[in-house]
């Protein structure tokens, strides 16, 4: 977990915390969630607890996509079986967060919106927490108007007990204008003229005109980043001759550790040393967690964000074949 995290994701059920800790580094304030109700249906409660344990176990051995498929079968089936139970509300929230943690933003939005459409039994505090999760899903999906509207609504309803939530909301509102400049289809934002790689060579996006470029914000201390690196190296070797390039932007603080990792793993693309979170490129690209990626087309526009695994390779394959 990185040093910017002020509070881990306690709002969501324990199984979603497991999924997120395995596959993503969260970097902003989170909402504390305390279960206040106990299900009157002991069967539903026991079954739900069993599902949580099963997902916990699968999360240790399965890839993210497999965890999602397994969770869908278990949680959505549970909701259908016990639609009026308090656990069904928790399952819906959990499924929304699982989708969000792996970039399935539209599915996350559908699950979280359903809680309000069905007028699910939630306390005011819970509603504000779910609204926050929904607003962040809107942001990831680049539905900025809906996100801004909901964030302002949370801001209006916040009270003294919502200090962390309010800080997170205000932070998100402060980043919306920057995020709008990074919407899909827009030109990638230029690097500062002083940007250099770890060898002292100047790095400018202008020099990559006509190439498919992956901007990869990462760090050697980031477990999901390191887990994904063999795949990134393989993709680079496979598509480099077809016009694919990578620019790594490391948030490491120790440049020697970065150099050692690059040498040990045979990484051949340019690396920019950011010196931690206070990184000009990280701020320009509104990076709040890593791994964070931006895939640029040959025209220099942002075509995809935050892809990994097979999805990353499929997108690169498509872009290098575009004329």
- Asked if residues 15 and 72 have their Cβ atoms less than 8 Å apart, the reply is no
C-alpha distance across the termini of the chain, in Å: 41
Is the pLDDT score of 23 beyond 70?
no
What is the per-residue pLDDT across 222-276, written as a single tens digit (0 to 9) for each?
998 999 999 999 999 999 999 999 999 999 999 999 999 999 999 999 999 987 7
Q: Residue 89 — φ and ψ, nearest 5°?
A: -65, -45
pTM: 0.73
Question: Residue 64: pLDDT band by 50, 70, 90 thresholds?
Answer: confident
How many alpha carbons fall within 13 Å on the CB side of residue 222? Answer: 29
**Residue 197 placed within a domain:** no
Give the C-alpha separation, 176 to 139, whole Å: 8
Is the pLDDT score of 184 beyond 60?
yes
At 67 the pLDDT is 86
What is the per-residue pLDDT across 80-105, written as a single tens digit (0 to 9) for each?
999 988 899 999 998 998 888 777 88
- Asked if residues 270 and 292 have their Cβ atoms less than 8 Å apart, the reply is no
Share of the chain above pLDDT 90, in %: 61
Residue 212's nearest CA partner among 149, 91, 297 is 297
Is the pLDDT score of 8 beyond 70?
no
Last residue of a domain, one of 164, 180, 196: 180
Give the count of domains, the chain. Answer: 2
Q: Chain centroid to CA 193: how far?
A: 29
Count other Cβ atoms within 10 Å, centred on residue 161.
Answer: 11
Q: Are residues 167 and 19 in the same domain?
A: yes
Question: How many residues are there in the chain?
Answer: 323
Domain that holds residue 36: 14-180
Give the C-alpha separation, 197 to 188, whole Å: 19
Q: Which residue has the higher pLDDT, 32 or 300?
A: 300
CATH number of the domain residue 96 falls in:
1.25.40.10
Last residue of a domain, one of 116, 146, 180: 180
Q: Which DSSP symbol is given to 192?
A: P
At 99 the pLDDT is 87
**Residue 236 placed within a domain:** yes
């Amino acid at each position: 977990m990185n040093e910017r995290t002020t509070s881990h994701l306690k709002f969501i059920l324990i199984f979603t915390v497991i999924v997120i800790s395995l596959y993503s580094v969260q970097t902003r304030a989170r909402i504390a969630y305390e279960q206040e109700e106990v299900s009157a249906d002991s069967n539903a409660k026991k079954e739900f607890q069993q599902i949580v344990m099963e997902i916990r176990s699968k999360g240790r051995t399965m890839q993210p996509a497999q965890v999602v498929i397994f969770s869908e079968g278990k949680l959505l089936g549970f909701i259908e079986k016990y639609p009026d139970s308090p656990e069904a509300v928790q399952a819906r929230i959990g499924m929304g967060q699982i989708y969000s943690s792996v970039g399935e933003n539209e599915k996350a939005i559908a699950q979280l919106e359903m809680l309000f459409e069905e007028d699910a039994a939630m306390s005011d505090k819970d509603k504000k927490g779910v609204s926050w999760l929904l607003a962040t899903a809107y942001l990831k999906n680049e539905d900025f108007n809906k996100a801004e509207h909901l964030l302002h609504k949370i801001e209006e309803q916040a009270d003294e007990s919502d200090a962390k939530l309010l800080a997170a909301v205000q932070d998100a509102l402060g980043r919306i204008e920057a995020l709008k400049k990074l919407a899909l289809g827009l030109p990638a934002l230029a690097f500062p003229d002083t940007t250099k790689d770890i060898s002292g060579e100047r790095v400018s996006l202008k020099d990559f005109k006509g190439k498919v470029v992956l901007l990869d914000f990462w760090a050697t201390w980031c477990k999901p980043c390191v887990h994904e690196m063999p795949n990134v190296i393989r993709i680079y070797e496979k598509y480099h001759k077809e016009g694919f390039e990578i620019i790594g932007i490391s948030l490491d603080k120790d440049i020697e550790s970065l150099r050692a990792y690059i040498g040990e793993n045979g990484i051949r693309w340019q690396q920019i040393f950011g010196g931690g979170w206070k990184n000009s490129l990280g701020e320009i690209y509104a990076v709040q967690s890593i791994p964070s990626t931006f895939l640029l087309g040959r025209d220099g526009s942002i075509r995809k964000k935050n892809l990994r695994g097979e999805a990353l390779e499929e997108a690169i394959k498509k872009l290098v074949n575009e004329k």
